[in-house]
Amino acid sequence: MKSLINQKINSGSDLDGQFKSVQAIYLIDKKSMAKRWIFGFSVLLAMTMFLPWTQNIRTRGQVTTLRQEDRPQELNTMIPGRIEKWYVKEGDFVSKGDTILRLTEVKTEYLDPQLSGRTKTQIDAKAQSIGAYESKAEAAQNQIVALQEAKTLKLSSLDNKIEQQYLKISSDSASLAAAENALLAYSRQIEAAKVMLDSGAISMVNFEKRRVAYQEGKAKVQSYQNKLDQSRQELLNLRIEKNSTVQEYNEKISKASSDRFGSLSSAASTAADVAKLENQLANYDARKGFYYLLAPQSGQVTKAKKAGIGEILKEGEMIVQIVPDQREMAVELYVKPMDLPLVNPGQKVRFLFDGYPAIVFSGWPNTSYGTFGGKVIAVESSVSTNGLFRVLAVPDVDEKNWPDNLRVGGGAQGIALLSDVPIYYELWRNINGFPPEYYLPETEKSKSK
CA distance 301 to 261: 61
- The per-residue pLDDT for 358 is 60
Any residues with CB less than 8 A from the CB of 283 and at least 6 apart, and which? none
Choose the weakest-confidence range: 23-32, 106-115, 176-185: 23-32
Segment 396-403 long-range contacts (CB within 8 Å, at least 24 positions apart): 396/348, 398/373, 399/372, 399/373, 400/372, 400/373, 402/329, 402/351, 402/353, 402/372, 403/353, 403/356, 403/372
With bands split at pLDDT 50, 70 and 90, how would you rate the model's confidence at 1? very low
- The per-residue pLDDT for 444 is 46
What is the percent of the chain with per-residue pLDDT over 90, rounded to a whole number?
5
With bands split at pLDDT 50, 70 and 90, how would you rate the model's confidence at 426? low
Which helix (H) or strand (E) is 264 found in, with range? helix 204-289
With bands split at pLDDT 50, 70 and 90, how would you rate the model's confidence at 9? very low
CATH architecture of the domain 115-289 equals Orthogonal Bundle (1.10)
- The per-residue pLDDT for 7 is 47
- The per-residue pLDDT for 35 is 73
Evaluate if residue 438 carries a pLDDT over 60: no
Instruction: Confirm if 347 and 417 have CB atoms less than 8 A apart.
Output: yes
| Beta-strand pair 389-395/411-422 | unpaired
The better pLDDT of the pair 364, 135 is held by 135
Largest separation between any pair of C-alpha atoms in the chain: 235
- The per-residue pLDDT for 427 is 72
Evaluate if residue 437 carries a pLDDT over 80: no
The better pLDDT of the pair 253, 405 is held by 253
Choose the weakest-confidence range: 188-192, 308-312, 324-328, 415-419: 415-419
Q: Which CATH superfamily is domain 52-69+327-448 in?
A: Efflux pump adaptor protein, beta barrel domain (2.40.30.170)
Q: Record the pTM.
A: 0.54
Complete DSSP assignment for 128-190:
HHHHHHHHHHHHHHHHHHHHHHHHHHHHHHHHHHHHHHHHHHHHHHHHHHHHHHHHHHHHHHH
Any residues with CB less than 8 A from the CB of 107 and at least 6 apart, and which? 80
What is the percent of the chain with per-residue pLDDT over 70, rounded to a whole number?
82
With bands split at pLDDT 50, 70 and 90, how would you rate the model's confidence at 142? very high
* pLDDT (tens digit per residue) in 359-399: 555 555 555 556 788 888 888 888 888 888 888 889 888 88
Evaluate if residue 243 carries a pLDDT over 60: yes
Fold that domain 73-105+291-323 belongs to in CATH: OB fold (Dihydrolipoamide Acetyltransferase, E2P) (2.40.50)
Length of the chain: 449
* Composition of the chain by helix, strand, coil, percent to 5: 55, 20, 25
Q: Of the segments 142-156, 182-196, 339-353, which one has the largest average pLDDT value?
A: 142-156
- The per-residue pLDDT for 54 is 65
* pLDDT (tens digit per residue) in 12-57: 445 455 556 655 555 555 566 677 788 778 778 777 776 776 666 7
CA distance 379 to 236: 97
The better pLDDT of the pair 16, 223 is held by 223
The better pLDDT of the pair 434, 153 is held by 153
Residue spans of the domains in the chain: they are 52-69+327-448, 73-105+291-323, 115-289
Burial zone of 73 (CB within 10 Å; 0-12 exposed, 13-18 middle, 19+ buried): middle
User: If we measure between CA atoms, which residue out of 367, 447, 262, 307 comes closest to residue 51?
Assistant: 367
What is the rounded average pLDDT for all residues in the chain?
A: 80
Evaluate if residue 443 carries a pLDDT over 60: no
Choose the weakest-confidence range: 101-110, 186-195, 389-398, 414-423: 414-423
